[in-house]
Amino acid sequence: MRGMAAGAIGVAVMTAVEKAEQACTGRPDSDVPGRTLQRLLGAPEASGRRLRAYDTAMHVGQGALLGGLRGVMAASGLRGPWASGMFLAVRLTNDQIFENATGVGAPPWTWPRRELAVDLLHKAVYAFATGAAADRLVAGLGPGPGRAHAALRPGRRFGVGPPPPGVGAPN
C-alpha cells in the first residue's frame, strides 16, 4: 500500500511536469492511455470528456499499481537512484505491452525522436519521484533483506544473507 501511495505521488509529479512542458511547447494531451484502457475493457470508442475520464483512470491507476512494485523493491532493500532506474525500465515496458497489445501504440523506436524524448523524460520523472517517495515511505521498515545481506559481507557471495526466521545472526 505504501508503494501504491508512492505511485500516486509519482503520477502527481509527472502530471505537473507534463503540464509545464505542454504550456511551453504547445503539445496537446495524449489520448493513447484512454484509448488503451477502452480497448482493454472492450468499451466502445469514446471522445471528449469520456475519453479524458479513461485517460485519467489509466494514468492514475497504472501509476498507482506500478508504484506497488516500487514499494516492494524498496522494502526488499532495492532503494535509491539505481533502483529507480531499474523501475523506469519496468514503467516503460508496462506501457508498451498494453499499448502495442491493444493496437493503440507502436514500438518506441518507430516514433518521432522528439515524441520519444518527451515520453522518456516524463516516465523518468514518474519513476524517480515514485522511487523517492517509496524509499521514504518504507524507510521505517528497516534496511530490507538485500541491504542486510550487503552489510554482512559486501559483494556477491554464496551463503551470506539474513538468517532464517528464528535463527541467530551468522558469525
84 within domain boundaries: yes
Q: Whole-prediction pTM value?
A: 0.84
164 within domain boundaries: no
Nearest alpha-carbon partner for 71 in 55, 56, 90, 97: 90
Task: Give 156: exposed, middle or buried? Use CB within 10 Å, 0-12, 13-18, 19+.
Answer: exposed
What total of structural domains would you count in the chain?
A: 1
Residues of the domain holding 12: 2-152
166 within domain boundaries: no
Task: Work out the angle between the directed axes of helices 48-75 and 113-138 (0-180°, nearest 10).
Answer: 50
171 residues of the chain, pLDDT tens digit each = 999 999 999 999 999 999 999 999 999 988 999 999 999 999 999 889 999 999 999 999 999 999 999 999 998 888 999 999 999 999 999 999 999 999 999 999 999 999 999 999 999 999 999 999 999 998 877 767 766 666 666 666 666 555 666 665 554
